[in-house]
Structure 1
């Protein structure tokens, strides 16, 4: 049986190569579109640094130290610029209008409460139109929070050890906690902004995965129309073997398409998509979901031409809702919720973790698990539909 599936899959793969379908739809088209979008709208060299406001209601050393550290960081100098803002309402208005990408607010008494070992409050005002600035600001605040927690723990430890209250501050400073210091060199955002060339290339790759699998689904219906399926079913080989071989070819072609776009983007724009094994794993999970869903849609088509229409609708609907065409954060709230039900949305989520946060395989376990769950449900449904319809 495995030999029959291998032979059928090899025949399908060779047929797509001879016709040029695999090369044109799977490699040339997505790579060309990704490069065109990348050159037109991407490129970190032409991207303006994100403007981040700082509201210092504390006037203490922590806020000024944070600004000094950010301004001294060569890695962040091309990503953000800091601007002082007088009040929270002014900062919120500037963020809402898009004048500022985000803002960091140091509350009144922040330094005093930190020195007393009581922690402190720092707020980040985010703008949906500039997620990069929000990520940078949040990263800075996260590091500040770690420093504050370390300071708080030191004060509490000193107090518990019996150090007099009047001597706690001196004791803590003398033992390595004498002031705030941010180490931004190894921060997740230190490797550069999220270049728009990565966004468009990854979105197009995710979109074309469905279109590439669609060629295999179309081929299956075409072979039913011209009688190939009937001849296969009349032989010792069961009809489901032909369906399975088409799915294998569709998955392999989709994975080849996504990897081609990925490699072309990395080589031409010199932009990392994250930890390569994690990227490949995420792509494989996306292609499995695309294969199962496309084959499921194909079960409702009566002709190969009708299958083409169904696949186009499926591809572009998921592409739109899942952030392949428009960033998810720019969609209305209701559509952002719907993006959680699309493979493209979870793939974009996983790539965001890899590109923005510099995560590894562990950071994409949830997106991969959801994609595999989608694949399993769609595959079972497609198998039942094929059994009732195409393979009767």
Structure 2
């Protein structure tokens, strides 16, 4: 342990002396997280609102009942307003201009078709500029689809059971044929349940963890180029000592960086990231995964400049796909699926659930995945390093 502590202490002293540890691990992520928080989050934000346009070419019971139910939903009571438009062109113009965040189009004969058991469908127009309206509109369409499906099956089953055709509608309504109630089941961020100051603060913490560890990986390759690594390995110490020593420093600084960003976000904006034990568990898992991924990249790099390039590319790609820079719900569907191959995506998902009020149990799966990613990357890095830097 003594040689390991000496190497680690030397690495930490060098990082503190040249200022990179303070700048990359503490100053940069806190400053960026604070700027994002003031620009997009904070306590003084106005409440989120959503306007949804309605084109009712049907004139039947469904359009009115769905709107009435939406306005009676507690979480939408002070958020949602409806605007009526005469046709699709007017609704599209309203969405394009920002007058409405989304629009739902009910075709003529929709209610009659559903009542007869023939089914039916509605169309929705969305805008990327108003994600909350899109979430509400999709929830409403899902509700309508559930009602249509339930009513269609109920009518057909009633007819097959011998209920007279002129009594089917009354029979179905008396015995119930409703789908699930209207809820905001989409992303808690887009639904307004999570403060954006917390979301972007955690995103900056997750992204900069890679940069913090990258500095230690780079120094390992610099010492190989300068011959320092060979001199260290010539001493009567295990060959893995310099690698593990630098890895420990990188991991420790990444952990400090993420915790500092967490603390600053709480103190500056007065918000919560959720259960502290759950938050720390996810931070620990992400710091471990980031450390092992960067060490794996370092094991493949030939020069320190190449290691810098690998770190930069992975940090930004993972940050983009994992929601650290752009919320996942704003990405195309195929990119949203890719978010779960990144540690950023898993920590973002876990922290978002915690901040939305979920219990500590929700971090179990994200934490296990983060530690699993780190373990796999660590094993691969060890195998590569044995053939490279340690050979």
Q: TM-score, normalised by structure 1?
A: 0.73
Q: Which residue of 1 aligns with 2:143?
A: 143
Structure 2 contact 194–352 (Cα < 8 Å) conserved: no
Counterparts of 2:101 and 2:51, CA distance in 1: 5
Q: Which residue of 1 aligns with 2:29?
A: 30
Name the CA shift for 1:373/1:98 in 2 (closer, same or farther; >3 Å): farther
Structure 1 contact 188–356 (Cα < 8 Å) conserved: no
Q: Secondary structure at the match of 2:123?
A: strand
Q: Render the CA deviation track for 1:264-283: whole Å, top value 9, x for unaligned.
A: 44565466667888876765
1:215-364 maps to which residues of 2 (within 5 A)? 215-221=215-221, 224=224, 229-262=229-262, 264-265=264-265, 269=269, 286-299=286-299, 300=301, 302-303=303-304, 307=307, 311-312=311-312, 314-316=314-316, 318-319=318-319, 323-326=323-326, 343=342, 346-347=345-346, 350=349, 354=353
1:119-158 maps to which residues of 2 (within 5 A)? 119-158=119-158
Q: Secondary structure at the match of 1:125?
A: strand
The answer on 1:171 being equivalent to 2:157 is no
Structure 1 contact 273–355 (Cα < 8 Å) conserved: yes
Counterparts of 1:258 and 1:99, CA distance in 2: 40
Counterparts of 1:373 and 1:235, CA distance in 2: 34
Q: Which residue of 2 aligns with 1:110?
A: 110
Number of residues of Structure 1 aligned to a counterpart in Structure 2:
386
- Cα deviation for residue 210 of structure 1 reads 1.0
Between stretches 289-298 and 258-267, larger displacement belongs to: 258-267
1:182-201 maps to which residues of 2 (within 5 A)? 182-184=181-183, 192=192, 195-201=195-201
Between stretches 227-236 and 105-114, larger displacement belongs to: 227-236
Q: Render the CA deviation track for 1:280-334: whole Å, top value 9, x for unaligned.
A: 676556445532342244342545x775566445534554566544556778x8x
Between stretches 259-268 and 346-355, larger displacement belongs to: 346-355
Name the CA shift for 1:380/1:186 in 2 (closer, same or farther; >3 Å): closer
Name the CA shift for 1:363/1:163 in 2 (closer, same or farther; >3 Å): farther
Counterparts of 1:13 and 1:31, CA distance in 2: 23
Counterparts of 2:156 and 2:348, CA distance in 1: 39
Q: Which residue of 2 aligns with 1:55?
A: 55
Counterparts of 2:2 and 2:182, CA distance in 1: 59
Q: Which residue of 1 aligns with 2:95?
A: 95
Q: Which runs of 5+ in 1 are unaligned?
A: none
Q: Secondary structure at the match of 2:81?
A: strand
Counterparts of 1:198 and 1:171, CA distance in 2: 51
Q: Secondary structure at the match of 1:207?
A: helix
- Cα deviation for residue 55 of structure 1 reads 1.8
- Cα deviation for residue 85 of structure 1 reads 2.0
Counterparts of 2:186 and 2:120, CA distance in 1: 22
Q: Secondary structure at the match of 1:202?
A: helix
Counterparts of 1:225 and 1:22, CA distance in 2: 22
Structure 2 contact 203–348 (Cα < 8 Å) conserved: no
Counterparts of 2:290 and 2:242, CA distance in 1: 18
Q: Render the CA deviation track for 1:165-188: whole Å, top value 9, x for unaligned.
A: 2222222222345x8994548887
Name the CA shift for 1:132/1:261 in 2 (closer, same or farther; >3 Å): farther
The answer on 1:71 being equivalent to 2:71 is yes
Name the CA shift for 1:302/1:161 in 2 (closer, same or farther; >3 Å): same
Counterparts of 1:42 and 1:63, CA distance in 2: 35
Q: TM-score, normalised by structure 2?
A: 0.73
